[in-house]
C-alpha cells in the first residue's frame, strides 16, 4: 500500500532524528520538511490524597476497599465518596481471594510497559463486593486463563507505592516473584 | 427536535487521514479542510462565520497548549467567539454538539466546527502511553496502561455473556466453552474488519483502504487477546471541519442543507472496575424480562452509548432506528466496540450483535466482500470504512463522521469521493456516534435530509 511505503520512509527519518537531533524529510508531496528532536521530561510531585491509605495498605500486604457509610455499597477500587448516594465511605478489608471477572493478554503496550509484554490484565471480583479491581494476572498463560478462575493476591516485597504493588495469581498456582 | 432553533449542516471538508503529514502542522491541516468546505458554499464568506468550536484531544500529542486559539488565529477568525472542546475519543462528536448548541440557542447563526490531531509526533507505543493517560493514572495506568487491553477486557466479558452462555452453553468444560466462544467472536470481529477495510477502498480520504481477506483478518498479529491488528484502529494525522447554520440563513448558502434533528450524550465511570451491575435502560421495543438475567452494563456494554441513543432518538422522534435510519457512522476504534455499539444504539438487542454481523446487515449492498451475507445491506454501518480503515486522528474523527454523513444525505458522495460506490441510495436519515474512554463518554447525533 502506498500509505505504508510512504510511512516506512518517514520512519527512517524518525530514526535519523532520534540519532542526530534533526533530519530533512524529502516528502513525496514535493516538500522538504525539517524534523527535529524535541524532548519533554516531567517529574510530578503527586499526592494520593484521600486514597493514600489504600496504597499504604498495599505496602503492608492489605487490600482496602471502600464501604458507603449510608447505603453500604462496597467498592473494590477505593472511592472516598459513594457514587450511588454521595455519602462518605469507610475502609474495609477486601478478601485476598477473588475470581477473574474478565481478562486479557497484552502483546503490546504503552512504551513504559512494552518491555513487560506479554502480560495478563484481569478485572477481579470479590464475594460480597459490588465493584471490581484491575490488576495484573501472573503465573498463567493465555490458553489457560478463563473467566471464573479463582485467584489470590500477592504483594511486592519492596513497595513502590503503585497499584502494581499488588498482583494476582491462580489459587493453587506457583508463587510468582516481584 | 430538542429545544431551540433548527440547526443545519451546510458544508464540510476533510484532509486525507495519514500516518504522518510532516508537510503540514495542525493549523495548515485545518486550513486545508476549511478551504475545501468554504469552496463548497461560495456564497459564504469568512465574515459570515460568527463563532468557532475547535477540538483536539491531547495536549501531549499537540505539545502546544492553546492550540485551538492558534487555529482560530491561522484561519483569520479573530476576534470572534471561540472555544476548545475536548472529550477524549468523543472530542469530535462533542464539538459538533457544541456547535449545534450555540446555533440552536440563537447566539449565533453560523458556527465553524473544526478538529484535528497530530499523532505522528511520537512513536506508536509512546502514543499509546499518551492515550492511556486518559485512564485513571492512580489505579489503571500503572497496571499496564493500554487502551487496546482495556477494550479486550470488555469484549472478553461480552463474549462470555452472550456467546459462552448462550451459543456455547451446552459445553460443560469451562475452558473449552470459553475457547470456542472466543474463536467464534474472532471470526465475527474479522468480518467487521473486512467490511470496513473493503468499504474504504472507495474512500479517497481513508488511511488504510485494503482488500482484506478473512484469512488475513483472522490471522492478524495479536495486540491484546482477542483483538488483533486488523481489528484495531491506528494513529493518524488529520483534520476535519463542518459548518453549521440556523434555519434563517442556511438556505442563503446552500440548496441542500442537512438538518441535525437529534442530539444525545451519555457518560459512565472512568474506571472500568467501577461500572455498575444493574438494569438495562430499555428502548420501547425491549422488555425487562428479556434482560432479566443480565447485569448491566458491567464491563460488557456501554451504558453511555445507550443513554446517548435514547436521548437522540427522543429528540429526533425516532421510534425504530432499524426502520428509520438509512446508515450509521459509528466509532469503531475496535471491531469489538462496533459490535457492542450496534446493541447500545438499538440496531439489535443486547446479545444479537454477533448475528447482526454474521447475517450481513451492516455490510453495503453491491459491494463484494468475498462473504456469504444473506441480509447484506439492511443497515449499512461505517460505509466510509470507519475508524479502523479511515484512521483516527482523535479530535478530527467525530467531525469526519459528520462530514461523511452530510455528504451521504446530500447525495454528493460521488462529487466528493470521485466515485459513488459508497453512496447509500436515497439516504434520508443517518446517525453518527462518537465514543471515548472505555465508554465513559458518548455522543449520538441524528442528521437528516432537509
Three cell numbers, residue A72: 453500604
pTM over 0.90: yes
Q: Looking at CA atoms only, how far is residue A30 from chain B in angstroms?
A: 9
* CB-based contact B442:B308 (threshold 8 Å): yes
pLDDT tens for chain B, 450 residues: list them: 457 899 999 999 999 999 999 999 999 999 999 999 999 999 999 999 999 999 999 999 999 999 999 999 999 999 999 999 999 999 999 999 999 999 999 999 999 999 999 999 999 999 999 999 999 999 999 998 899 999 999 999 999 999 999 999 999 999 999 999 999 999 999 999 999 999 999 999 999 999 999 999 999 999 999 999 999 999 999 999 999 999 999 999 999 999 999 999 999 999 999 999 999 999 999 999 999 999 999 999 999 999 999 999 999 999 999 999 999 999 999 999 999 999 999 999 999 999 999 999 999 999 999 999 999 999 999 999 999 999 999 999 999 999 999 999 999 999 999 999 999 999 999 999 999 999 999 999 999 999
> Inter-chain contact A109–B275, Cβ cutoff 8 Å?
no
Domain B7-125+242-246 has CATH 3.40.1050.10: no
Q: Does A119 touch chain B (CB under 8 A)?
A: yes
| 3-state helix vs strand vs coil in chain A, percent to 5 | 20, 30, 45
User: Which of B139, B177, B226 has the highest number of chain A CBs within 10 A, making it the mutation to test binding with A?
Assistant: B139
Q: Is A18 exposed, middle or buried (0-12, 13-18, 19+ CB in 10 A)?
A: exposed
Taking contacts as CB-CB distances below 8 angstroms, the residues of chain A near B120 are 10
Domain segments of chain A as ranges: 2-36, 49-170
> Inter-chain contact A77–B273, Cβ cutoff 8 Å?
yes
Taking contacts as CB-CB distances below 8 angstroms, the residues of chain A near B162 are none
User: Which of A76, A104, A133 has the highest number of chain B CBs within 10 A, making it the mutation to test binding with B?
Assistant: A104
Tell me: ipTM over 0.85: yes
> Inter-chain contact B156–A110, Cβ cutoff 8 Å?
no
User: Which of B60, B127, B143 has the highest number of chain A CBs within 10 A, making it the mutation to test binding with A?
Assistant: B143
Centroid of chain to Cα A11: 29
The hierarchical CATH code for the domain B134-235+261-449 is 3.40.47.10
Q: Is the peptide bond before B424 cis (omega within 30 degrees of 0)?
A: no
For residues A160 and A121, give the distance between their C-alpha atoms in angstroms, rounded to a whole number: 19
Tell me the residues of chain A between 60 and 99 that have a Cβ less than 8 Å away from chain B. 75-77, 79, 83
Task: Please name the residue that has the C-alpha cell 505496602.
Answer: A59
* Closest-approach residue (CA) in chain B for A46: B138
Q: Does A147 touch chain B (CB under 8 A)?
A: yes
Q: Where exactly does CATH 3.40.47.10 map onto chain B? A: 7-125+242-246, 134-235+261-449
Tell me the residues of chain A between 22 and 61 that have a Cβ less than 8 Å away from chain B. 25, 27, 29, 31, 33, 35, 38, 40, 48, 51
Exposed e or buried b for every residue in A62-94, given b needs 16+ CB within 10 A?
A: bbbbbbbeeeebbbbbbbeebeeeeeebeeeeb
Three cell numbers, residue B67: 492550540
Amino acid at each position: 500500500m502506498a500509505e505504508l511505503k510512504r510511512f516506512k520512509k518517514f520512519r527512517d527519518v524518525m530514526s535519523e532524528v532520534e540519532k542526530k537531533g534533526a533530519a530533512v524529510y524529502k516528502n513525496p508531496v514535493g516538500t522538504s520538511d525539517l524534523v527535529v528532536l524535541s524532548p519533554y521530561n516531567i517529574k510530578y510531585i503527586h499526592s494520593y490524597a484521600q486514597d493514600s491509605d489504600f496504597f499504604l495498605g498495599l505496602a503492608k500486604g492489605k487490600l482496602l476497599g471502600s464501604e458507603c457509610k449510608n447505603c453500604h455499597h462496597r467498592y473494590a477500587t477505593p472511592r472516598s465518596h459513594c457514587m450511588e448516594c454521595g455519602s462518605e465511605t469507610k475502609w474495609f478489608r477486601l478478601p485476598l481471594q477473588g475470581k477473574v471477572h474478565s481478562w486479557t493478554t497484552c502483546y503490546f503496550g504503552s512504551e513504559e510497559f512494552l518491555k513487560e509484554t506479554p502480560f495478563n490484565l484481569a478485572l477481579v471480583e470479590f464475594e460480597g463486593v459490588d465493584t471490581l479491581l484491575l490488576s495484573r494476572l501472573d503465573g498463567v498463560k493465555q490458553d489457560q486463563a478463563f473467566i471464573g478462575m479463582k485467584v489470590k493476591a500477592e504483594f511486592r516485597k519492596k513497595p513502590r507505592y503503585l497499584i502494581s504493588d499488588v498482583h494476582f495469581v491462580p489459587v493453587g498456582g506457583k508463587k510468582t516473584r516481584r | 427536535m430538542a429545544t431551540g432553533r433548527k440547526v443545519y449542516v451546510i458544508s464540510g471538508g476533510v484532509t486525507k487521514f495519514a500516518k504522518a503529514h510532516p508537510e503540514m502542522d495542525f493549523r495548515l491541516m485545518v486550513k486545508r479542510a476549511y478551504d475545501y468546505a468554504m469552496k463548497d458554499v461560495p456564497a459564504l464568506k469568512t465574515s459570515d462565520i460568527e463563532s468557532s468550536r475547535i477540538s483536539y484531544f491531547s495536549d501531549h500529542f499537540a505539545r502546544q497548549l492553546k492550540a485551538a486559539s492558534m487555529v482560530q488565529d491561522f484561519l483569520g477568525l479573530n476576534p470572534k467567539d471561540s472555544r476548545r472542546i475536548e472529550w477524549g475519543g468523543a472530542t469530535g462528536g462533542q464539538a459538533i454538539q457544541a456547535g449545534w448548541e450555540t446555533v440552536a440557542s440563537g447566539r449565533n447563526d453560523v458556527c465553524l466546527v473544526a478538529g484535528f490531531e497530530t499523532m505522528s509526533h511520537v512513536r506508536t507505543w509512546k502514543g499509546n502511553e499518551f492515550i492511556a493517560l486518559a485512564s485513571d493514572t492512580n489505579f489503571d495506568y500503572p497496571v499496564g496502561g493500554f487502551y487496546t487491553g482495556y477494550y479486550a477486557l470488555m469484549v472478553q466479558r461480552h463474549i462470555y455473556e452472550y456467546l459462552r452462555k448462550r451459543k456455547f452453553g451446552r459445553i460443560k468444560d469451562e475452558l473449552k466453552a470459553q475457547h470456542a466462544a472466543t474463536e467464534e467472536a474472532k471470526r465475527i470481529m474479522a468480518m467487521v474488519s473486512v467490511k470496513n477495510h473493503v468499504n474504504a477502498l472507495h474512500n479517497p480520504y481513508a488511511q488504510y483502504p485494503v482488500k482484506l481477506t478473512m484469512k488475513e483478518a483472522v490471522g492478524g498479529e495479536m495486540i491484546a487477546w482477542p483483538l488483533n491488528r486488523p481489528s484495531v484502529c491506528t494513529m493518524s494525522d488529520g483534520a476535519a471541519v463542518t459548518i453549521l447554520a440556523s434555519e434563517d440563513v442556511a438556505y442563503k448558502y446552500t440548496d441542500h442543507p442537512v438538518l441535525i434533528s437529534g442530539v444525545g450524550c451519555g457518560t459512565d465511570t472512568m474506571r472500568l472496575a467501577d461500572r455498575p451491575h444493574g438494569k438495562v435502560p430499555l428502548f420501547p421495543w425491549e422488555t425487562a424480562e428479556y434482560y432479566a438475567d443480565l447485569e448491566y452494563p458491567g464491563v460488557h456494554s456501554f451504558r453511555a452509548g445507550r443513554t446517548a441513543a435514547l436521548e437522540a432518538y427522543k429528540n429526533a422522534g425516532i421510534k425504530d432506528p432499524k426502520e428509520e435510519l438509512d446508515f450509521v457512522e459509528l466509532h469503531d476504534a475496535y471491531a469489538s466496540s462496533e459490535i457492542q455499539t450496534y446493541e447500545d444504539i438499538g440496531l439489535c438487542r443486547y446479545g444479537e450483535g454477533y448475528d447482526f454481523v454474521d447475517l450481513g446487515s451492516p455490510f453495503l449492498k453491491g459491494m463484494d466482500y468475498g462473504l456469504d451475507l444473506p441480509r447484506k445491506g439492511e443497515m449499512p454501518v461505517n460505509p466510509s470504512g470507519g475508524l479502523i480503515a479511515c484512521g483516527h486522528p482523535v479530535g478530527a474523527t467525530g467531525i469526519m463522521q459528520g462530514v461523511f454523513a452530510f455528504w451521504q444525505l446530500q447525495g454528493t458522495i460521488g462529487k466528493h469521493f470521485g466515485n459513488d460506490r459508497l453512496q447509500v441510495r436515497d439516504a434520508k436519515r443517518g446517525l453518527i456516534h462518537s465514543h471515548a474512554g472505555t465508554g465513559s463518554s458518548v455522543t449520538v447525533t441524528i442528521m437528516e435530509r432537509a
